[in-house]
């Protein structure tokens, strides 16, 4: 990076000042002469008899936009605690401090500041003297022109035109914006990331120049990027795997061999391996040291997880209170070679025992799975004891999950005058698309989920039925929130949620209650208990119903404290939900409230206080993480 600063000041003046500072600093290292001692002020002589302490304090008098930066980075601050400094030595430090302050102001984009430095005696203060620095930063420099050029294959390849245009369009320090060293560095780094993220992983910055016209407060920026050769994914090379064949790792990772290098695809492959459960650590890199960039090997450095693992967990939710869980995983089942994960969960309202078995994906990414679940849970006014068997195929491909499976359900309601027990067999198809900017803590994008099932009841009269569920969540930008000096900003947003479900069957069909619907709780209608909103029987009992509707509007806004953006956000929301056995009987239940969102180190934390309008009660809801 090169700065060129243009000013009408004589060219010899900066050199003279710099030489003077070096000379005076060097003189301060020589032994003091009697003449130097005689020049010391009476207060300096008196200070020799004081106890060890600060020699001086520094008072920076400047606008808020620059004061904190100067106070934190001025080098003269390092000498305050040297208690043997006299007025002469401090004056010499002040000469260097002026040049240092100008350099710090240049970093912020102020190239024509006016500075006044004074040494003031403060006999009754924290130190005998005070260095007072008064700053008028002058006008901030603005960018007048930006030129981004390319060298190498990217400059000539027509297939890279969109990438070139994207880098130029995404340049973050545009004409008309204030110039600062941080913004300049960020703009160059962001552009380099865009270059190396696709096709050109060895790209670099060849030249960069910030040409500053101090008298006009203008900056002309130029940068040239060298692309290096275009790369394509070659074969996957696995290091560290002992128990599992390399072909299994390849099928889990699904690196798109032969396609153009894409950093996101490499990260997705790494995430697939890391989340498979077979490895404790995974790191994927493209080997750019080979002779053929069109078949660059992908190196997978892995550390295998234990063959079997038991994990004990404790937790708490506002829906179900304290929770205890025991997880057991087996990564290589005898004979099958599948992975099995079994889990026992116990909390106030739910006790469940389940196991999931899954095979290694085939070359197309589809895997065979089977699962079994026994559960006892409070649903509406009843306790439901249920069982479920499921077997089929699924595929997770980028942001889309697909599945199809055969499922058997059995449910028995326990309580006063319960609905009859029921069982059913269904053929199911599921599709989930996640189009978020961040899957763990999204602020933009949307997600859509579809579930379709068709089957027959097995208890009582055997009758056909269908089940349909649609879920959607979306984030709509709602302005930008910045810190006091507008150097940082985050988007406010409106989060919209909607869910609809329907079970279509004859009235006399005995549908298992686990296939019907209940709502209410942390993730649905806040202000109501978990799964307490359902169809109401004539005697007032609440049961799972055949039709479901849920909608939510939530305004999320970054929280600013003391002029700075924090890790917190505020939220206000309205939730509406209804369940009934007939669409015409649906009576919406409304919850309103406010809350906070904290971007914690382990994931987003959601804390809400909601008021259930129909039940006339407040309820606290706490949730960790985001799932869709």
Q: What is the pLDDT of residues 441-462, one digit of tens each?
A: 899 999 999 999 999 999 999 9
Taking alpha carbons only, the member of 419, 404, 493 closest to residue 452 is 404
Task: Tell me if 189 sits within 8 A of 173, measured CB to CB.
Answer: no
Segments of the chain scoring below 70 in pLDDT? 1-53
Can you read off the two tokens belonging to residue 385? Answer: 């004891």
Q: Mapping DSSP to helix (H, G, I), strand (E, B) and coil, where does residue 464 land?
A: strand
E-only strand ranges, 287-381? 296-304, 308-317, 321-330, 339-347, 350-358, 367-379
CA 277 to each of CA 68, 249, 300, 366: distance values in angstroms, whole numbers, following the listed order:
48, 12, 16, 17
pLDDT attached to residue 86: 85
Q: Mapping DSSP to helix (H, G, I), strand (E, B) and coil, where does residue 520 land?
A: coil
> Helices (DSSP H) in 240-390: which residue ranges?
246-253, 263-274
> Euclidean distance between the first and final Cα of the chain, in Å?
44
Out of 3.10.20.310, 3.40.640.10, 3.30.2420.10, 3.30.565.10, select the CATH number for domain 142-226. Answer: 3.10.20.310
Give the distance, in angstroms, between the CA of residue 539 and the centroid of all CA atoms in the same chain. Answer: 49
Which residue is it, tokens 């197309």? 364
Task: Tell me if 76 sits within 8 A of 131, measured CB to CB.
Answer: yes
Q: Mapping DSSP to helix (H, G, I), strand (E, B) and coil, where does residue 214 land?
A: coil
E-only strand ranges, 45-155? 57-61, 114-121, 129-136, 142-151
- Spatial separation of the C-alpha atoms in residues 355 and 372, rounded to whole Å: 5
pLDDT attached to residue 3: 52
pLDDT attached to residue 399: 87
- Spatial separation of the C-alpha atoms in residues 593 and 608, rounded to whole Å: 7
Task: Tell me if 446 sits within 8 A of 483, measured CB to CB.
Answer: no
- Spatial separation of the C-alpha atoms in residues 557 and 567, rounded to whole Å: 11
Backbone angles phi, psi at 255, to 5 degrees: -70, 130
What's the order of all strands across the beta sheet hosting 296-304? Answer: 233-239, 296-304, 279-286
State the span(s) of the chain assigned CATH 3.10.20.310.
Answer: 9-136, 142-226, 233-304
Instruction: Fill in the DSSP letter of residue 369.
Output: E
Q: Mapping DSSP to helix (H, G, I), strand (E, B) and coil, where does residue 114 land?
A: strand
Residues 6+ apart with CB under 8 A from 216: none
CA 250 to each of CA 253, 339, 468: distance values in angstroms, whole numbers, following the listed order:
5, 16, 36
Task: Tell me if 56 sits within 8 A of 131, measured CB to CB.
Answer: yes
pLDDT attached to residue 384: 95
pLDDT attached to residue 53: 67
pLDDT attached to residue 400: 93
Class of domain 390-624: mainly beta
pLDDT attached to residue 43: 37
**∠ CA 425-428-430, rounded to 5°:** 155
Residues in the chain: 628
State the span(s) of the chain assigned CATH 2.40.160.50.
Answer: 390-624
pLDDT attached to residue 615: 95
Q: Mapping DSSP to helix (H, G, I), strand (E, B) and coil, where does residue 195 land?
A: helix
Taking alpha carbons only, the member of 123, 105, 125 closest to residue 114 is 105
**CATH, range 233-304:** 3.10.20.310
9-136 has CATH 3.90.1150.10 classification: no
């Amino acid at each position: 990076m090169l700065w060129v600063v243009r000013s009408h000041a004589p060219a010899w003046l900066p050199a003279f000042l710099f030489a003077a500072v070096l000379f005076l600093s060097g003189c301060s290292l020589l032994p003091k002469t009697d003449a130097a001692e005689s020049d010391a002020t009476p207060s300096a002589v008196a200070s020799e008899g004081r106890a060890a302490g600060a020699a001086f304090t520094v008072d920076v008098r400047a606008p808020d936009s620059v004061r904190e930066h100067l106070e934190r980075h001025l080098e003269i601050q390092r000498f305050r605690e040297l208690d043997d400094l006299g007025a002469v030595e401090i004056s010499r430090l002040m000469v260097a401090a002026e040049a240092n302050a100008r350099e710090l102001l240049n970093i912020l984009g102020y190239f024509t500041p006016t500075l006044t430095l004074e040494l003031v005696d403060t006999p009754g203060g924290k130190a005998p003297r005070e260095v007072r620095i008064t700053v008028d930063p002058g006008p901030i420099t603005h960018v007048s022109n930006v030129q981004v050029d390319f060298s190498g294959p990217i400059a000539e390849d027509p297939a890279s035109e969109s990438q070139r245009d994207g880098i130029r369009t995404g340049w973050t320090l545009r004409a008309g914006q204030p110039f600062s060293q941080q913004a300049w560095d960020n703009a160059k780094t962001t552009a380099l990331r865009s270059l190396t993220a696709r096709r050109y992983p060895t790209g670099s910055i060849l030249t960069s120049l910030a040409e500053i016209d101090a008298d006009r407060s203008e900056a002309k920026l130029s940068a040239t990027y060298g692309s290096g050769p275009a790369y394509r994914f070659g074969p996957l090379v696995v290091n560290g795997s002992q128990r599992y064949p390399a072909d299994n790792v390849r099928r889990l990772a699904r690196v798109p061999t032969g396609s153009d290098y894409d950093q996101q695809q490499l990260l997705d492959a790494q995430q697939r391996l890391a989340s498979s459960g077979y490895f404790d650590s995974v790191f994927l890199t493209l080997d750019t040291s080979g002779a053929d960039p069109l078949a660059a090997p992908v190196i997978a450095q892995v550390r295998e997880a234990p063959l079997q693992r038991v994990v004990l967990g404790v937790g708490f939710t506002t829906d179900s209170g304290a929770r205890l869980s025991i997880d057991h995983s087996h990564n290589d089942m005898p004979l099958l070679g599948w992975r099995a994960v079994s889990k026992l969960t116990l909390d106030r309202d739910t006790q469940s025992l389940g196991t999931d078995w899954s095979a290694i994906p085939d070359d197309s990414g589809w895997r065979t799975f089977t699962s079994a679940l026994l559960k006892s849970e409070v649903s509406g006014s009843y306790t439901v004891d249920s069982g479920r068997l499921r077997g089929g195929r699924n595929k997770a491909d980028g942001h889309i999950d697909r599945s199809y499976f055969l499922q058997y359900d059995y449910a028995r309601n326990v309580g006063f005058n319960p609905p009859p027990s029921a069982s059913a067999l269904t053929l199911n198809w599921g599709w989930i698309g996640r189009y978020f900017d961040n899957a763990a803590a999204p602020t933009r994008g949307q997600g859509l989920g579809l579930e379709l099932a068709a089957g027959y009841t097995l208890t009582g009269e055997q009758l056909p039925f269908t089940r349909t569920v649609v879920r959607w969540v979306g984030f709509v930008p709602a302005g930008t929130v910045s810190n006091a000096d507008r150097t940082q900003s985050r988007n406010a947003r409106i989060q919209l949620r909607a869910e609809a479900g329907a079970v279509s069957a004859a009235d006399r069909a005995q549908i298992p209650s686990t296939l019907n619907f209940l709502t209410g709780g942390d993730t649905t209608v806040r202000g109501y208990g978990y799964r307490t909103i359902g169809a109401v029987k004539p005697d007032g009992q609440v049961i799972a119903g055949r039709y479901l509707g849920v909608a939510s509007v939530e305004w999320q806004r970054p929280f600013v404290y003391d002029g700075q953006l924090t890790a917190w956000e505020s939220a206000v929301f309205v939730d509406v939900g209804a369940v009934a056995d007939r669409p015409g009987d649906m009576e919406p239940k409304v919850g309103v409230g406010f809350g906070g969102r904290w971007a914690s180190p382990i994931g987003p934390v959601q804390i809400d206080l909601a008021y259930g309008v129909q039940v006339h009660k407040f309820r606290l809801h706490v949730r960790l993480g985001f799932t869709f």
